[in-house]
Amino acid sequence: MRYLSLPDAVVGLPLRAVCVLLLALSASGCAKEETPRRVTGGDAERGLHLVRQYQCGACHAIPGVPGAGGDAGPSLAHTGRLGYIAGRIPNQPANLVRWLQDPPALKPDTAMPSLGVSEEEARHMAAYLYTLR
Ligand code: HEC
């Protein structure tokens, strides 16, 4: 046992390093795809469908949504890496979900109206918007 422990440690070290590296790589690979769904509890594909249905594109330019070229609101092209929603609300999943349901509740003087979006719908749309980076 005593003789085995030294080579074990020597061989085990690089192996462990490789494992950690592989884990890190696969984790970051997963994170890219899974993060929007995980953080908002929504489904990006359904979100895209809802964004079309609610005609968000009447006021927003949205890449990936044909005809979405409105300019009453900002482009949603980079919502996934936006620091603040509407210039002042920290862009965290819970805030984006609330924003989509009722913007004036978070920013009374905003020009974005409440569109009657349910919480579930907002989660799906937020999941989609977070894929836009
Ligand atoms: C009647 C026009 C209008 C419609 C319809 C509309 N928005 Fe907006 N939206 C705005 C305006 C104006 C702002 C800027 C608000 C502010 O800064 O106070 C905004 C802001 C936003 C923001 C924050 C963007 C940023 O850069 O800060 C998001 C996200 C957003 N809207 C998503 C949506 C989604 C999703 C829909 C459809 C469910 C939608 N909007 C429908 C007008 C609209």
Answer whether 0.85 is exceeded by the pTM. Answer: no
Ligand 1 pocket test, pick from 46, 49, 55, 60 with the greatest ligand atom count within 8 Å of Cβ, gives 60
- What is the position in ligand 1's atom list of the atom closest to the CA of 75? 26
Residue 50 sits in a domain of what CATH number? 1.10.760
Q: How many structural domains comprise the chain?
A: 1
pLDDT tens, N- to C-terminus, the chain (133 residues): 555 555 555 555 565 655 455 555 555 444 454 566 677 899 999 999 999 999 999 999 999 899 999 999 999 999 999 999 999 999 999 999 999 999 999 999 999 999 999 999 999 999 999 999 9
Domain that holds residue 16: 2-129
Using a 10 angstrom Cβ sphere, with 0-12 exposed, 13-18 middle and 19 or more buried, the burial of residue 71 is exposed
Q: What is the pLDDT of residues 42-66, one digit of tens each?
A: 999 999 999 999 999 999 999 989 9
Does the beta carbon of 117 sit less than 6 angstroms from any atom of ligand 1?
yes
